[in-house]
Amino acid sequence: MLTDQYELTMLQAALRSGAAHRRCTFEVFARRLPQGRRFGVVAGTGRLLEGLETFRFRRNELDFLAERGIGDDDTLDFLSSYRFSGDISGYAEGEIYLPHSPVLQVSATFAEACLLETFVLSVLNHDSAVASAAARMVIAAGGAPESGGRPCVEMGSRRTHEFSATAAARAAGVVGFAATSNLEAGRSWGVPTLGTAAHAFTLLHDSEEDAFAAQVETFGPGTTLLVDTYDVEAAVRKAVEIAGSTLGAVRLDSGDLVAQAHEVRKLLDSLGNSATRIIVSSDLDEYAIAGLAAAPVDAYGVGTRLVTGSGAPTASMVYKLVQRQDSKGAEVPVEKASPNKASAGGKKQALRNLDADGRAAAEIISTDATPEHSGYSGRNLHVPLVVSGSVTPGTTGPEGVRAAAQRHRASVEELPAAAQRLSEGEPVIPTVFV
Amino acid sequence: MLTDQYELTMLQAALRSGAAHRRCTFEVFARRLPQGRRFGVVAGTGRLLEGLETFRFRRNELDFLAERGIGDDDTLDFLSSYRFSGDISGYAEGEIYLPHSPVLQVSATFAEACLLETFVLSVLNHDSAVASAAARMVIAAGGAPESGGRPCVEMGSRRTHEFSATAAARAAGVVGFAATSNLEAGRSWGVPTLGTAAHAFTLLHDSEEDAFAAQVETFGPGTTLLVDTYDVEAAVRKAVEIAGSTLGAVRLDSGDLVAQAHEVRKLLDSLGNSATRIIVSSDLDEYAIAGLAAAPVDAYGVGTRLVTGSGAPTASMVYKLVQRQDSKGAEVPVEKASPNKASAGGKKQALRNLDADGRAAAEIISTDATPEHSGYSGRNLHVPLVVSGSVTPGTTGPEGVRAAAQRHRASVEELPAAAQRLSEGEPVIPTVFV
C-alpha cells in the first residue's frame, strides 16, 4: 500500500486496453544534482530489493481496495497473484551518479513494472539524498576512518520520521560514517551503534558530579561524558576527577565549538588526560565540519543536517518509461516532449570513462548496446540486481551495506580532485550522450 | 528499536544510580519557527499515540540488545516489561504553535519517559514540519475546500521515504488538503485517495488517442486526462473528442502553468467543455499556488515541496527535562545553561490569549498552575492525551485525523489576518512568559 493510487488505475486501464502485457523498460534518473553539488551517491538499492521480496497485495489490502472501489475484478485478480518476475539492473549501491545517469532499469511487462514506481522512487530518492549529503560530510572530515579521516557519527533520528531515521543511518553507513545512534539500523543492517547520555541525564541527578559518577560507575572510565550542561570548564575538571586519566571522551553540544575545543583540549592535556578524546555535535553540516578541521576534535556527531540531506532532502529522481513493445511485439523507444521535462527514449548503457591514470573523465550514456564501438571505453556501471524476479545475492541486509560501502570508497577515489570541493560548482565529470 | 541507543544507556546508568524512578516531566517545544514563518502546526500526535500502544521490547529486540552488549540484566528486565504508565498532555493535534509553545508534556518516572524521546521527536518533528508547510499551501489556495478554497491534493509519495510519505499524506489531511495519492494513508487514517495516470500510460500506447480512449472506456468520461505528454492543444482537442462534454478534468504537469491554464480554459470553453476542470501539478509550493490564484485552475497537485516541508523538513522540536523529584521526593524545576540552547525549567501551562473580538493576541506560557491569577486569560492549550498509560479516545486513527482537521480550521480562523501572509515575518502572535 506504499503506492500511489495512479499505479493501480493505470494498471486497470492497461489491462482493459491490453497494453498491460507489453514488455517495457523504465529508467530511474535525476535530471540534475542539487544546486552546486559535484556528484550524487546512489543509496537505498539494498532496501529496495528487500522491499521487493515482500511487495505483495494480501487479503487486507485487496479488501481495502475493493471497499474503496479502486480496481475492478481483473485488477484485483492481477494484484492478488502479483510477484515481480522481471529484471532489474542498475548502478551498484554506493556508486557515484551524475545528471541523467540511468541509475536503475526495470524491465518487465507494463503491469509488473508500473506498480513499482512509487516504492522504487521513495526509497532511492530518500536514501540517495541522505547519502549524497553524508558523503560530503565524510569528505569534510578527511575521509572515512579507514582512510585516516575523523569518524562521523550519525545521530539525527530525532529530527526525521522514525523510519526515515533508520534508512538515513543506513545511508550514512554506506558512505563511510563510523556509527549511528539508531538501534534499528544496527539490527536490520549491522550498522555499528553507539550512544551515552543527553543533558537530561545530568539534570536528573542532584548534581553534575552525581550524574558523571553514575555513568562512570556503570560504563567504566572509557565512557563519553557530556560536559556542557552548566559550565564546561568546571565539568571537564569534574569529569577527569571522577573518571581519571583513562576517561574516554567528552562531548560538546553547544556554543562556539572551535574555541571550546581548543580550551578543552588544553585543559584535558594540563590535567594529564591527553588520551581523552573530544567529540562535538550541534547542528553540524559539511561546512561546519570543514570549519573544525584545524580544531583539536576527534569525532563529529551529525544529526539534523544529515537526515534532511543538508538542504536537499530529496534526490529528485524520476521513473520514466523509455522503451516498450509495439503492437507487433517489437521494442521501440518512447519519450515525452513536455517543456522542461523532456526525457531521452530508449534503454541506456552507462560507462564511467576513465583517463590514462584511471581517473573518471566522463559519464557515457548511450542507447547503443556497445558504446565501446562509438570509441568510448570504461567501467560498465550497470550490474544485475534482479534476474527473472530473483534478487542477486549479496545486495541486501548487512552484506549489501558492506559491499556498498566498499563500492562507494572505490568510486570516490576514482573521481578527480574537484570532487572533494564543498563549494558550489558543476558536476565533477560531464555527462556525455552518445 | 526506533530509538537512539543513548536512551538505553541513560536508563541503565539511572537504574544503577537509583534516579531512574524519580518522577519527571519532559516538555517538547521548538525554540524557533523556520525562517520567516508566521506559525507552526502541531501534527503527528495521533500517530504518536498509536505508536505508544505498541512501544514494547520483545524477545527479538532484547536478544539483539544482549548480543550487542547494550544494557545489563537490570536494564533488559526493565525493558521486557516496559509499558508506558504515565501521563501525557499537550496541544491538540492540528493546533497552531509558536516559539517555545510546550506542545507536549510527558510526566512519568525518568525510566519510562526517557525511553520515549526519540520516537516522540521523530513523529512530531516530521509531521509538524509537513503540516506547517502544507497549512501555508492551503492558505495560498484560498483556504480549505469547505471554506471555498480550491482543493489541494497531496502527491509527494515518490519524493520521500515510503513511510514518511504516508505520514505526510496524513499531515496534509490535518491542515485541509482534500485528498492524497497515497493508498496507505487512505487505509490507516481514512484520508480520501485519488489518482488517474502518469505520462507512462500515454507512452505505453501506440498513440495518445489510444491511451485516452482506454482511460475513458475504463473510468468513464468523468476521469482526469493528462494532456502534456506531447502537444497540449492537440491533446485537449483529442480528450474532448473522446470523452465528450462531460470530461471531468485535464491535468497539466509541466511548462508555464499560468499561461497554459488560460489557453486550455479558453480552448475547453470554445469546445463546449466549460464544466471540465483544470488540475495543475509540477513543483508547486505555496508561492507557486499563490501565483496561480488568478489563473483558471480548479485544483492543485502538490508533491516534492509538501513532503520536504517547503524548505523546512524538520520542525526542530526538542524533548527537555524541565522538572523532576529531588532526593526527598519534592518536584523541582531543572534547566541547563548551555549557550544558545538554554531552556526554561518547570512544568508549563499554556494559554492562547484572545482579544475582545476573539482573535488570538498572545501565547501565554507560565510555570504558574493558574496563569489567570497573573491577569491573563484565554483558551487552555493543553488537553489530556494519555492518562495513567491509557490513550484518550478519539485521538487516534481516522477519528483523530478528523478531529485534528476541525481543531486546525478553528485555530487558524482565530489567528490575526497576518497569519495569511506568505512573506517572511515575525510569528503572528508573541510568546509571553509569565
For chain A positions 164-193, those within 8 Å of chain B (CB to CB) are 164-167, 181-184, 186-187, 193
Give the lowest-confidence range in A52-66, A159-173, B128-142, B338-352. Answer: B338-352
From the CA of A213, how many Å to the nearest CA of chain B? 9
Taking 80 as the threshold, does the pLDDT of residue A369 lie above it? no
Decide which of B340 and B433 is more confident: B433
- Which of A2, A197, A211 has its CB closest to that of B9? A197
Is the ipTM beyond the 0.95 threshold? yes
Instruction: Say whether A313 and B316 touch across the interface (CB within 8 A).
Output: no
- Fold agreement between A5-130+312-433 and A147-310: no
CA angle B209, B210, B215 (to 5 degrees): 100
Q: How many CB atoms lie within 10 A of CB A87?
A: 18
The answer to whether the Cα torsion of B44, B46, B48, B51 is positive or negative is: negative
- Give B296's contacts (C-beta < 8 A, 6+ positions apart): B261, B262, B265, B278
Q: Is B200 on the interface with A (CB under 8 A)?
A: yes
Integer Rg of chain B from CA = 25
Report the side by side order of strands in the sheet with B431-433: B379-380, B349-354, B360-366, B431-433
A-chain residues near B13 (CB < 8 A): 197, 201, 214-215, 217-219
* Contact yes or no for B125/B317 (Cβ under 8 A): yes
Closest partner CB to B157 (pick from A8, A65, A118): A118
Asked if B200's CB is within 8 angstroms of A320's CB, the reply is: yes
Q: What are phi and psi of B260, to 5 degrees?
A: -65, -40
Decide if B157 and A206 are in contact by the 8 Å CB cutoff: no
Task: Select from B94, B10, B92, B89 the least CA-distant residue to B347.
Answer: B89
Write down the residue that cell numbers 482579544 correspond to. B355
Instruction: Give the CATH number of domain B195-302.
Output: 3.20.20.70
Helix (H) or strand (E) holding B433: strand B431-433
In chain A, % of residues over pLDDT 70 = 98
Q: What pLDDT was estimated at residue A190?
A: 97
Distance (Å) from the alpha carbon of A105 to chain B's nearest alpha carbon: 15
Q: How much is the pLDDT for B341? A: 63
Which pLDDT does position A40 carry in this prediction?
98
pLDDT, residue A375, reads 80
Grade residue A87 by pLDDT with cuts at 50, 70 and 90.
very high
Beta carbons within 8 Å of A274's beta carbon, 6+ residues apart: A268
* Average pLDDT score over residue span B203-231: 97
B327 interaction partners in chain A (CB closer than 8 Å): 206
Interchain proximity B198–A117, CB inside 8 Å: yes
pLDDT value of position A368: 75
Q: pLDDT class for B428, splitting at 50, 70, 90?
A: very high
How many residues make up chain A in this entry?
A: 434
pTM > 0.90: yes or no: yes
Cβ contacts of A19 on chain B, cutoff 8 Å: 204-205, 210, 214
Structure confidence by residue, pLDDT tens digits, B100-119: 999 999 999 999 999 999 99
Question: What pLDDT shows up at residue B344?
Answer: 80
Per DSSP, the three-state class of B362 is strand
Mind telling me how many Å the CA of A355 is from chain B's nearest CA? 35
Nearest residue of B to residue A208 by CA position?
Answer: B336
Measuring CA to CA, which residue among A265, A248, A255, A312 is closest to residue A288?
A255
CB contact (8 A) between residue A324 and residue B204: yes
Contacts of A171 (CB under 8 A, 6+ apart): A43, A44, A127, A128, A130, A131, A134
pLDDT at A288 exceeding the cut of 80: yes
Residue type, B338: S
Q: Kindly report the number of other CB atoms within 10 A of residue A363's CB atom.
A: 26
Distance from CA of B376 to the nearest CA of A (A): 31
DSSP state of A370: -
**Per-position b or e across A120-143, b if 16+ CB within 10 A of its CB:** bbbbbbbbbbbbbbbbbbbbbbbb
Query: Is a pLDDT exceeding 90 seen at residue B342?
Result: no
Distance between A79 CA and the closest CA of chain B, angstroms: 14
Number of Cβ atoms within 10 Å of the Cβ of A149: 17
- Output the DSSP codes for B80-146: HT----SEEEEEPTT-EE-TT---EEEEEEHHHHHTTHHHHHHHHHHHHHHHHHHHHHHHHTTS-GG
Counting Cβ atoms within 10 Å, is residue A58 exposed (0-12), middle (13-18) or buried (19+)? exposed
- Backbone conformation region of residue A159, classed left if phi is above 0, alpha if psi is from -120 to 50, else beta: alpha
Give the domain ranges of chain B. Answer: 5-130+312-433, 195-302
Q: State the DSSP string of A172-225.
A: HHHTT--EESBHHHHHHH---B-----HHHHHHSSSHHHHHHHHHHHH-TTSEE
What are B139's three cell numbers? Answer: 492558505
List the grid coordinates of A30.
535525476
> Does the structure show a pLDDT above 90 at B339?
no
Q: A302-322: per-residue pLDDT in tens?
A: 999 999 999 999 999 999 999
Would you call B35 an interface residue with chain A, using a CB distance cutoff of 8 Å? no
Instruction: Render pLDDT for B58-77 as a digit per residue (tens, 0 to 9).
Output: 999 999 999 999 999 999 99
Cβ–Cβ < 8 Å for B236, B267: yes
Decide if pLDDT at B219 tops 80: yes
β-strand partners of B380: B351
Pick the closest to residue B323 from B12, B86, B16, B119 (CA basis).
Answer: B86
Lowest-confidence segment of A192-201, A206-215, B82-91, B365-374 by average pLDDT: B365-374
Rounded Cα distance between B11 and A183, Å, is 15
Name the residue among B374, B346, B359, B387 with its Cα closest to residue B434: B374
Element (H, E) at A382: strand A382-387
So what's the pLDDT on residue B377? Answer: 84
Mutation to test the A interface, candidates B10, B79, B162, most A Cβ within 10 Å:
B162
B85 falls in which pLDDT band (50, 70, 90)? very high
Residue B228 CA neighbour count, 13 Å, CB half? 22
Residues A31 and A98 sit within 8 Å (Cβ to Cβ): no
What's the whole-number mean pLDDT along residues B191-196?
95
Nearest CB partner across the interface for A183, out of B5, B201, B206: B5
Confidence of residue A10 (pLDDT cuts 50, 70, 90): very high
> Is the pLDDT reported for residue B19 higher than 70?
yes
Q: How many CB atoms lie within 10 A of CB B430?
A: 13
Considering chain B, what is the average pLDDT of its residues? Answer: 96
Q: Which of A10, A158, A202 sits opposite B4 (nearest CB)?
A: A158
Cβ A98 vs Cβ A33: under 8 Å: yes
Distance, CA of B322 to chain centre? 26
Partners of B154 in the beta sheet? B180, B302
Cα-based angle A115, A120, A122 (whole degrees, multiple of 5) = 115
Tell me, what's the pLDDT at B373?
Answer: 67
A318: which 3 cell numbers? 524520476
Q: Each residue of A89-100: pLDDT tens digit?
A: 999 999 999 999
Q: Is B308 at the interface with chain A, CB within 8 A?
A: yes
Q: Supply A141's cell numbers.
A: 572530515
Render pLDDT for B378-418 as a digit per residue (tens, 0 to 9): 999 999 999 999 999 999 999 999 999 999 999 999 999 99
Burial of A24 (0-12, 13-18, 19+ CB in 10 A): buried
A34: cell is: 542539487
Q: Which fold has domain A5-130+312-433?
A: nicotinate phosphoribosyltransferase (3.20.140)
Looking at residues B294-317, what average pLDDT do you find? 98
* C-alpha cell recorded at residue B152: 489541494
The span from the CA of B341 to the CA of B316, in Å, is 12
Q: CA–CA distance from B118 to each of B13, B56, B83, B320, B374 (Å)?
A: 18, 14, 16, 12, 35
What residues contact residue A48 under an 8 Å CB cut-off, 6+ apart? A119, A120, A123, A124
Q: Is the pLDDT of residue A373 over 80?
A: no
CATH architecture of the domain covering A147-310: Alpha-Beta Barrel (3.20)
Residue B129 CA to residue A115 CA, distance in Å, equals 29
Query: Mean pLDDT throughout A287-291?
Result: 97
The amino acid that residue B389 corresponds to is: G
Going B179 to A168 to B30 to A137, the CA torsion angle's sign is negative
CA angle B306, B308, B312 (to 5 degrees): 105
Chain B environment of A114 (Cβ under 8 Å): 200
Residue whose entry in the numeric block shows the C-alpha cell 532511492: A124
